[in-house]
Amino acid sequence: MKHRIDKQSVETGLAPSHSLKRIANSERPTTIDQRPMIKSPRGTRDLLPPDTALWNFVEATVRDVFRAYNFHEIRTPIFESTELFARGVGEDTDIVSKEMFTWEDPPRLFEQYKKFYQDVTAAIIEGRLPAGGYRPLSDLAGSQSLTLRPENTAGIVRAYIEHKLWERGLNKFFSIGPMFRRERPQKGRYRQFYQIDAEVIGPAAAGSQSPARDAEILELVATLLDRVGITHWTLELNSVGCPADRVKFNEALQQALAPVVATMCADCQRRAVTNPLRVFDCKVPQDQPIIATLPTISQFLDEACRTHYEEVKQILNSVEIPYVENPRLVRGLDYYTRTAFEFTHGALGAQNAILGGGRYDGLSEALGGPPAPGIGFAIGEDRLVLTLSATASAESVVRQPDVYIAPLGAGMNREAARVARELRRHDLVVDLGDESFRLKKSFEAADKMGARYILIVGENEVAADAFALKHLASGEQLTIPRTELAQRILRK
Ligand code: AMP
């Protein structure tokens, strides 16, 4: 029976008026289709097959590449204490000031005894208990502010400090997982999205500050994009210097902005006061001609930073990785030093950055750790898959079933299950129908899932211990003994 949605009951949440009649007719009243539908929250989405095959293909390829560069996986929690991001990402960044999913997490004990404390507090106020001698509620609450991670560098550096990973020398980490930002969703921009992160971090004595590490990580990204099948990427490169360079640069920027900032967007007016470097993040078209006239950081690099940047470029030239210098490329986060980079791709439109990254030599200290120079990047996996889907269909990377088994007639499901188990031991992809299906229906199902062969398991076949195997594309049909089935199907 097909159920129709009853508008009145959806709105009122009450059983429809005719439900009594249904009961009288001894029909079972259904409520399932009368509830409002629940959708995934704004900015999140379900990744479904066959698209998930593209995601798996990307992740498997990425893991292979990381292995070749001797990177190892790290998995950190999806939520961390809010302070980690406030300190590690910077309180005046858009991420921290506007986009974090944050909540207060009171201890369970407090939850349990909340009523008790409310009663005690009321008794004190009403004079039934003497005031004084009690610890204030806030102490006892010990509540913690937690945040869903908006990025993963801060979490990885926190783990580096917490586990004293400098004792291992240079650490080369990668991680793959979801990030959360409360942004306005649009194509390529989500509230839950996925990043592939890599971080190289360790004591300077272990070579963590060397320009060779910067060049190696850039080469790794280039290899990774090539291997995934993304061509026509552009590597944009810059050096944002060290904190001392930036003080000088900020002063110069402030001076250059002073006469023109009043004509710029509200965000730029704020940035000019709080952090002039961020003016370069501005995407407002009217502001771009002004931004084009501002001084660039390259004019303010000290000797050491300049040499470092030169050496990165020399190594890139030597391994033949193309790049374009973009002196206006600054990263949105406070802890970046020296090398800053972005890989972009034309196919992505407005959201054209596939990934961004750079060096963050001061981050460990900002998080209470020892000096630990580092460099890393985060690839937006959603955008990587989006770019890839323009050239590769999910179907092209899915392994279609090698064989579809059609059990034919009563009692054949158990025989089919046995054959399937034997074939799967040979690493064949096997799917099965049901003994109640007519042969025509099994053929349709096998076709629909793109199986190469269909195998008939009926009473006669079981008795003969040999099965009808039909190649779907050519229509060729053979009877194959059970013991030879796997080898036959493995032959393309
Ligand atoms: P960021 O951590 O801001 O440097 O971002 C690194 C990469 O993550 C970007 O280049 C994007 O590809 C991706 N990314 C950042 N925010 C989002 C988002 N809201 N939705 C999808 N991808 C994102």
Q: What pairing do the DSSP bridges indicate for beta strands 233-239 and 337-345?
A: antiparallel
Query: How confident is the model at residue 3, as a pLDDT?
Result: 40
Q: Ligand 1 centroid vs 319 CA: distance in angstroms?
A: 28
Q: Ligand 1 centroid vs 355 CA: distance in angstroms?
A: 7
User: Which CA distances in Å does 189 have to 42, 150, 279, 474?
Assistant: 11, 13, 22, 45
Alpha carbon 71 to chain centroid distance?
A: 18
Residue bearing the CA closest to ligand 1, atom 4: 356
Mind giving me the DSSP string for 81-141?
EHHHHHHHT-TTSHHHHHS--EEEE--HHHHHHHHHHHHHHHHHHTTSS-SSSS--HHHHH
Among 193, 240, 388, name the best residue to mutate to test ligand 1's pocket (greatest count of ligand atoms within 8 A of Cβ).
193
Query: How confident is the model at residue 274, as a pLDDT?
Result: 82
- Residue 487 CA to residue 491 CA, distance in Å, equals 6
Q: Ligand 1 centroid vs 378 CA: distance in angstroms?
A: 8
Query: How confident is the model at residue 92, as a pLDDT?
Result: 77
- Residue 84 CA to residue 77 CA, distance in Å, equals 12
- Residue 272 CA to residue 354 CA, distance in Å, equals 28
Q: Ligand 1 centroid vs 186 CA: distance in angstroms?
A: 12
User: Which CA distances in Å does 161 have to 90, 153, 280?
Assistant: 18, 12, 32
C-alpha closest to that of 193 among 149, 256, 154: 149
Mind giving me the DSSP string for 23-46?
HHTTPPP--GGGSPPP-PPTT---
- Residue 366 CA to residue 333 CA, distance in Å, equals 13
Among 44, 180, 191, 355, name the best residue to mutate to test ligand 1's pocket (greatest count of ligand atoms within 8 A of Cβ).
355
Query: How confident is the model at residue 390, as a pLDDT?
Result: 79
Query: How confident is the model at residue 141, as a pLDDT?
Result: 59
Spell out which residues line ligand 1, taking CB within 6 angstroms. Answer: 151, 181, 183, 188-190, 193, 195, 353-356, 378, 380, 382-383
Class of residue 108 by CB neighbours under 10 A (exposed 0-12, middle 13-18, buried 19+) = exposed
Query: How confident is the model at residue 340, as a pLDDT?
Result: 95
Q: Ligand 1 centroid vs 109 CA: distance in angstroms?
A: 38
- Report yes or no: 419 and 368 within 8 Å, Cβ to Cβ: no
What is the tens place of the pLDDT at every residue in 215-236?
999 999 999 999 998 888 999 9
- The maximal CA–CA distance of the chain, rounded, in angstroms, is 94
Q: Ligand 1 centroid vs 342 CA: distance in angstroms?
A: 11
- Report yes or no: 385 and 190 within 8 Å, Cβ to Cβ: no
Class of residue 68 by CB neighbours under 10 A (exposed 0-12, middle 13-18, buried 19+) = exposed
- Report yes or no: 442 and 433 within 8 Å, Cβ to Cβ: yes
C-alpha closest to that of 204 among 300, 303, 298, 304: 304
- Below-50 pLDDT ranges, the chain: 1-27
- Residue 226 CA to residue 48 CA, distance in Å, equals 25
Q: Ligand 1 centroid vs 352 CA: distance in angstroms?
A: 10
Structure tokens that stand for 180 in this block: 């959360």
Place of tokens 């409310």: 118
Query: How confident is the model at residue 33, as a pLDDT?
Result: 66
Closest-lying ligand 1 atom to the alpha carbon of residue 354? 12
Class of residue 421 by CB neighbours under 10 A (exposed 0-12, middle 13-18, buried 19+) = exposed
